[in-house]
Amino acid sequence: MLKGLKWKLIIYAAIVLFAILMVLPTVTSRLPSWYSKVIPTEKIHLGLDLQGGMHIVLEVEAEKAIESYVERIKNNIKDDLRDRNIPTGKVEREKRDQIVIEFSGEKEKVEKLLSERYSIMQELSSSEIGGGIWRIALVLDSRQAEQVKKNALDQALETIRNRIDQFGVSEPEITVQGTEQILIQLPGIKDPERAKSLIGRTALLEFKLVDEEGDIETALKGIVPEGDIILYQRVVDPKTGGVKKTPYLLKEKTLMTGEVLKDARVALDSQFHEPYIALEFDDIGAKLFEQITGTNVKKRLAIILDDNVYSAPVIQERIAGGRAQITGRFTTDEANELAIILRAGALPAPVKIVEERTVGPSLGQDSIRQGIISILISAVLIVLFLIFYYRGTGVIGDIALILNVILVFGVLSLLRATLTLPGIAGLVLSVGMAVDANILINERIKEELRWGKTIRAAIDQGYHRAFTTIIDSNITTVIASLFLYQFGTGPVRGFAVTLFWGIVANIFTAVFITRWMFDYLTLKVKIKKLSI
């Protein structure tokens, strides 16, 4: 039995020591150089409500993703009909998910093309409108539409996460909320406006040819040539803040998009030392860019981001190697932000902010102070109560409570968890339940002593009878905390994490460590009377 006490002491001491070592980096930065090589030095991260930051709920406009998806299908259908020399009149998207095709010629040939290559578009109607011209109306399959919406939400989530990771925010919380919303929490953010700009920009990069033959003045009067669009180059004067808008008449067809982009970096112009964005394409993009520049020498190629023309240089020669650049009157911050957005990719659909809260650092510090005060007051009252009511045995319970808190913080450090204000509440609740476990054990031991049993027998029976009750009450709370973590968001999950590990630590300290202390006192010290 005494040998068993020794081994238990070694195991329990090792667990507690490891927890203390895990907590030390959070408590102090004055650690020896060898420490980080042996022990993980992750600190307990503070949540948004404790260190300040931003809370944003974004709504993904998934209907726009469907519009873009159907628009791409429309363009592909138009190209396929032209390649097959089928005379076409109108090939347009109507509403958000419908395409109308007007053509002359063999109807069976068109229907075969649509069924083979565009089966996700269902035929709404088909009729001859006169003069040998047919009209077919198509609608996107409802299951495909739902899949497009889901893909848009998932892609938006991943894109925003990539942007924020490159922005350098520690421990961001980015999760799906509902069917069309994304919850973003950015603890410790110092520049909320820049963060919002970074998160919300669509960042659709396109390359289009300038229509050199069209007349921009006529187009501005409302007579836009078929197959052309008007976009503007927006330039802000850094001195006056004035905005100059230069119109461009562009071919509507997009020759290339940012989907083939491999990298985007900020570089400095060697002559004027002004920042620009250096683009590098992947293998597919490099071949496509070489083909585009090779077939359009001496023509102007517009580089467009979110419908703003950044530049429209003349293609002097075929450009191989898969490199290009976006020039403009950038500041260094603007260039860096733009490079981050381009590297992370374009959002599949626009997003809008439906909820926004900013928590100041001072409010966060108040929350920390109040949380610590609440823990200290509750801890002191509990410690005094146990000593007053259970005397020497109460001291054993107090030691267990202290170890309980140390173990919880050790686990939070090990898991790189984020401590929030609800998390502090979960910790306080778990401490309360730890007291409950100690009271159950002590009352059972007192009851056995009143029946005249020896100290050893009273302790054995007290733990045996209390164990089932402790497990029952704690297991139900553990199950509840697991469900809270699984289905809850930010603050709720923070509460669930500390509550779960608080209960696990509670069972370990209240049942096993306190039992070892009682066994040590009765078997090693051989006390004659139990102070309880």
Please give the domain boundaries of the chain with CATH numbers for all domains. 2-45+361-524 (1.20.1640.10), 63-144 (3.30.70), 201-357 (3.30.1360.200)
* Alpha carbon distances (Å) from 462 to 353, 399, 451, 466, 469: 58, 19, 12, 6, 11
Instruction: Evaluate the CA torsion angle 444, 445, 446, 447 in order and state its sign.
Output: positive
Q: Would you state the structure tokens that stand for residue 517, as one six-digit string?
A: 């202390």
Contact 428, 376 (CB under 8 A): no
| pLDDT in the model for residue 342 | 79
Residue 406: strand, helix, or coil: helix
Q: Pick the closest to residue 148 from 220, 240, 224, 68 (CA basis).
A: 68
Contact 419, 500 (CB under 8 A): no
| pLDDT in the model for residue 490 | 66
Q: Pick the closest to residue 329 from 382, 378, 384, 272 (CA basis).
A: 272
The percent helix, strand, coil of the chain (3-state, each to 5) is: 55, 25, 25
Contact 419, 441 (CB under 8 A): no
Whole-number Å distance between alpha carbons of 326 and 311: 7
Q: Would you state the structure tokens that stand for residue 7, as one six-digit string?
A: 């081994």
Whole-number Å distance between alpha carbons of 123 and 100: 10
Q: Would you state the structure tokens that stand for residue 153, as one six-digit string?
A: 């939400």
Strands 228-236 vs 243-251: parallel, antiparallel or unpaired:
antiparallel
pLDDT in tens, the chain (532 residues): 556 788 888 888 899 898 888 888 877 777 777 777 777 777 777 777 777 788 888 888 888 888 888 888 888 888 888 888 888 888 888 888 899 998 887 888 888 888 888 888 888 888 888 778 888 999 999 888 888 888 888 888 888 887 787 776 666 778 888 888 888 888 777 777 878 877 877 778 889 999 988 889 888 888 888 889 999 988 777 667 677 888 999 998 888 888 788 888 888 887 777 888 888 888 888 888 898 999 999 999 998 888 888 888 889 888 888 888 877 777 787 788 778 877 877 777 888 888 888 776 655 667 667 777 877 787 788 888 888 888 888 888 888 888 988 899 888 888 877 777 788 888 888 888 888 888 888 888 888 888 888 888 888 888 888 888 888 888 888 898 899 888 876 678 888 888 999 999 988 888 888 888 888 888 887 877 777 7
Whole-number Å distance between alpha carbons of 373 and 67: 54
Q: Pick the closest to residue 114 from 93, 99, 130, 132 (CA basis).
A: 99
Q: Pick the closest to residue 99 from 116, 83, 121 (CA basis).
A: 121
Contact 121, 138 (CB under 8 A): yes
Whole-number Å distance between alpha carbons of 157 and 137: 34
Residues 6+ apart with CB under 8 A from 361: 51, 52
Residue 45: strand, helix, or coil: strand
Residues 6+ apart with CB under 8 A from 262: 280, 281, 282, 285, 322
Instruction: Evaluate the CA torsion angle 144, 149, 154, 159 in order and state its sign.
Output: positive
Whole-number Å distance between alpha carbons of 266 and 333: 10
> What pTM was computed for the model?
0.61
Bridge partners of 246?
A: 233
In 221-354, which ranges are continuous DSSP H helix? 283-295, 332-344
Contact 485, 426 (CB under 8 A): no
| pLDDT in the model for residue 299 | 92
Q: Would you state the structure tokens that stand for residue 240, as one six-digit string?
A: 């006056």
Residue 133: strand, helix, or coil: strand
Contact 138, 118 (CB under 8 A): yes
Whole-number Å distance between alpha carbons of 461 and 343: 66
| pLDDT in the model for residue 369 | 77
Amino acid at 95: K
Which secondary structure element, helix H or strand E, spans residue 250, and what is its range?
strand 243-251
Residue 518: strand, helix, or coil: helix
Which secondary structure element, helix H or strand E, spans residue 357, and what is its range?
strand 351-359
Residue 156: strand, helix, or coil: helix
| pLDDT in the model for residue 491 | 73
